[in-house]
Amino acid sequence: MQKHRLLKILAVVTSFGSYLMLLMGAIVSKTGSGKGCGNSWPFCHGQLIPESLPIETVIEYSHRIVSGGVGFLILTLTVWAWLAYRENRRVKVLGFMSLFFVVLQGALGALTVVFEGSFAKTAALALHFGFSLISFASVVLLTVYLFQLSRETEGEGKTVTRNAPVSGRIRYTVWGLAVYTYIVVYTGALVRHAEATMGCGFSFPLCGETYFPSFSSLAGIHMLHRYASITLWLCVLCFLVAVIRRYRAREDLLRGSWLAFILITIQALSGMITVFTGGQLMAALLHTTIISVFFSVLSYLCMQLGLPWKRESGESVNSRTPVLS
């Protein structure tokens, strides 16, 4: 239907906008432009159009403008999707999460403006990125699901059931990986906002001659994230092996696990590049991009497999997500 085609276009545009908002937030943090508009919000230095426009002001105000525009797109997408699929609970949940977390990260971003240099500000900025990531993943999942529903509609009501049901253990594993990834993301955001990117200098994989520096130091903050990331890579590898051995028939799970492993490997390489280049902006943005896509892939797998404590059955697309081909 034409209205659903336009809704899908809006969803794709909103997904791209959400990514742009995430990326611009990383640029603000990396360039130290968080105070580019002083302590005023939502305007810049109390003005709609600031008289003085140094680069840090341009970066910070551009981020605010883009975030406001993306917030409006998410609101429009959520309301439209709810109206188009009134009876679909998953559409409602994903739409609510997209909207709730973009509002929450916006409010938290506003609060960080009034903080001065303190651990409270560092923690708030880390939370700000985490909430933006959830909003981005929710928008991406809503977009994917709308395309799935549209494909089902265009198939004249043909239902698609799942084959090769998975165990509760593998579903708990997927959800556990998503939660742990979110924790690792916070350790990375803490590294960025505590300015600990070069806490170990150019040393890799160790931090100079020490394995466990004090976690109250910049080196310790950096190594905390490094060890958490290594653990995540090993967990994703083990998950991939388990899927290959037991769930080859589940194409969505197999492809998703391979993609997740490839992405987390590239993410590790981008982390090394960030260290070896002295924390250059482009390396940091690549690092942010890959982890955002990786988290979205894990979130997609969570959506495909459903809640871990609910037993799978051969349900149709009207109640479960279809397998992508």
Catalytic residues: 60
Please tell me the distance from the alpha carbon of residue 61 to that of residue 75, in angstroms, as a whole number: 21
Please tell me the distance from the alpha carbon of residue 99 to that of residue 77, in angstroms, as a whole number: 9
Q: What sign does the CA torsion over 170, 173, 175, 178 have?
A: negative
Please tell me the distance from the alpha carbon of residue 171 to that of residue 310, in angstroms, as a whole number: 10
Residues 6+ apart with CB under 8 A from 114: 39
Closest CA to 244 of 254, 256, 234: 254
Closest CA to 319 of 147, 160, 104, 99: 160
Please tell me the distance from the alpha carbon of residue 290 to that of residue 233, in angstroms, as a whole number: 13
Q: Which two tokens stand for residue 81?
A: 């999707």
Closest CA to 244 of 303, 323, 236: 236
